[in-house]
């Protein structure tokens, strides 16, 4: 139904406009009050969106593992060859470098996913203070701190892994040098092994923070009376 209002005179028209604005603002406020989510629900939305944004991170894992295995196979082929087959060594080394470049691209996509998740997650920081229930606020605060530690741990893991890729690429370039000395090769392989020790340590640290965060998130949902079907989540994964 449409109401037509005939207004005569400038002052009456101005009054009508003011009245229309007041009514509009009242309606908006009423709708906001009716449809507005609670603070805990807003936090829930940001947390689950952060999970969704990390799906690309998870999708890269299988591809990265496959590429790592592929490179190991190529390396095994190289060390089984003699210098009489140097052309073959060069060819396989080039293929290994190509595999490393693919790994670098996967790592880049992985980091973009984590960075996007971090930006989404940080949106809950200002909401935590608005939580009225003390237990829920305490759980949310701990959860936030642990998740930020997790993001820092990922950055260190990413740096360590990237450095290892750099060293591996250098190795395959060295293997294409006919006058390569055994001492130089041995020293470089030691650098790679040391770098991967750092990767393993960083990865373990990242996984530890991930486990802690998941537990704290579950505790927060319970303290905030947010029902989550964890069995459904497992099946979907």
**Spatial separation of the C-alpha atoms in residues 133 and 72, rounded to whole Å:** 53
List pLDDT tens digits, range 31-61.
Answer: 334 344 689 999 999 999 999 999 988 888 8
109-136: per-residue pLDDT in tens? 999 999 999 999 999 999 999 999 999 9
Question: Which pLDDT belongs to residue 58?
Answer: 85
Closest CA to 79 of 89, 71, 87: 89
Condensed to tens digits (0 to 9), the pLDDT of residues 133-176 reads: 999 999 999 999 999 999 999 999 999 999 999 999 999 999 99
CB 115 within 8 A of CB 41: no
Residue 114 and residue 154 in contact, taking contact as beta carbons nearer than 8 Å: yes
Confidence check: pLDDT of 11 > 70: no
- To the nearest whole number, what is the mean pLDDT of the chain? 85
- pLDDT value for 220: 96
- Domain 37-236 CATH (choose: 3.40.50.720, 1.10.3720.10, 3.20.20.140, 1.20.120.570): 1.20.120.570
| Helix residue ranges, H only, 122-181 | 125-128, 134-174
Residues 152 and 118: their CA atoms lie apart, in Å, by 10
């Amino acid at each position: 139904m449409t109401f037509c209002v005939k207004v005569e005179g400038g002052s009456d028209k101005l009054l009508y406009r003011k009245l229309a604005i007041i009514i509009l603002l009242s309606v908006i406020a009423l709708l906001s009050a009716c449809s507005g989510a609670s603070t805990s629900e807003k936090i829930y939305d940001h947390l689950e969106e952060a999970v969704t944004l990390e799906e690309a991170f998870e999708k890269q894992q299988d591809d990265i593992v496959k590429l790592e295995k592929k490179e190991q196979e190529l390396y095994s082929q190289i060390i089984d060859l003699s210098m009489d087959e140097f052309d073959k060594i060069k060819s396989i080394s080039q293929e290994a470098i190509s595999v490393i470049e693919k790994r670098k691209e996967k790592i880049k996509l992985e980091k973009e996913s984590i960075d996007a998740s971090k930006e989404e997650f940080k949106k809950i920081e200002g909401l935590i203070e608005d939580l009225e229930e003390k237990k829920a606020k305490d759980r949310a605060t701990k959860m936030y701190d642990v998740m930020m530690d997790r993001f820092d741990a990922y950055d260190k893991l990413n740096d360590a892994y990237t450095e290892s890729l750099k060293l591996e690429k250098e190795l395959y370039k060295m293997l294409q040098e006919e006058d390569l000395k055994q001492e130089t090769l041995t020293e470089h392989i030691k650098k790679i092994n040391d770098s991967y020790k750092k990767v393993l340590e960083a990865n373990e640290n990242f996984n530890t923070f991930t486990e802690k965060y998941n537990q704290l998130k579950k505790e927060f949902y319970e303290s905030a009376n947010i029902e989550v079907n964890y069995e459904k989540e497992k099946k979907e994964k």
